[in-house]
Amino acid sequence: MTDSIDVSSAELANSLRAIDESAPLVQALTNEVTMNDVANLILHWDGLPVMADSPGDAGEMAHGADALLLNTGQVPATKVEAMREAARTATERGIPIVLDPVGVGSTPTRKDVAQTLLTDVTFTVIKGNYGEISALAGVEADVKGVESVGDYEEIEETARSLADSTGSIVVASGVEDIVADADSTYRLTAGHEMLGEVVGTGCMLGATLAAFNGALEDEHAAALHGTLAFGIAGERAAELRYEGPASYRTNFHDAVAGLTADVVSELDLEFSGRIERVA
């Protein structure tokens, strides 16, 4: 049984306006493959990116950050140490922390790193693809490298279980996105198939959630609005001319930068039915 939840253009515009007005400093410890895209996407949402990811500097930079993103796309010992330093500072300051457990489930090392972080840190949001979220929840998952493959018919229940056990909001990204906390689970319909043809869009969703959480007090609204805005930008990117993944990637960055509060206020984005509460 599902209940449709409408997010108005005004509500999404208010969230985008909050980011623009506060310009949250988002510290991202991410992998080198997607670092530039992550930094640019934070900037396109009107946040301020900083990629301080070495021991010492990471903990120090977190003293001034408004949100922290930990992405485990690469897990050398020094970066893991920097993540733990930054997370300790962020926890002491009470700022939101987003975990993107890239590739967890594909190797024992990545699983150990993710489990260590989960033991040491209470995350505001845990964002991953269906396979990564399933692996973290202890459910059978098929992750090849950093890609989720296989069928995940119980992903709503899996995301809810992980949210319940961690106290985090869980965002499971896929054909449909799932946003769950201990009390509720939502299914979001937004995005475009071309997002799956560009390396790093998952990392960029993590950056989006960090930017929204850095500006909004309501963590659940930040997760829902951030995930929805990301998908809408993916759709708008496909409306522009593109020849393939490379030009679509450029369109997507432009679409994010162009999805301002004023633009959203004037658009009929047909939000009705895009967010369903799953019971």
At residue 270, the pLDDT reads: 65
Name the domain count of the chain: 1
- The mean pLDDT value for 243-260 works out to 98
Q: CATH code at 97? A: 3.40.1190.20
- pLDDT higher than threshold 90 for residue 5: no
- pLDDT higher than threshold 50 for residue 146: no
Q: Which residues contact 127 (CB under 8 A, 6 or more apart)?
A: 98, 99, 100, 170, 171, 173, 202, 205, 206, 209
Residue-wise pLDDT for 30-83, tens only, equals 999 999 999 999 999 999 999 999 999 999 999 999 999 999 999 999 999 999
Positions at the binding site for substrate: 51, 200
Q: Distance (Å, rounded) from C-alpha 90 to C-alpha 182?
A: 23
Positions at the binding site for ATP: 127, 173
Q: Angle at CA 217, nearest 5°, toward 26 and 84?
A: 40
- Domain carrying residue 123: 2-278
Confidence bin at 93 (pLDDT 50/70/90): very high
Write the DSSP string, 50-104. E---STTHHHHHTTT-SEEEEE-SS--HHHHHHHHHHHHHHHHHT--EEEE-TTT
Residue-wise pLDDT for 170-199, tens only, equals 999 998 999 999 899 999 999 999 999 999
Positions at the binding site: 51, 127, 173, 200
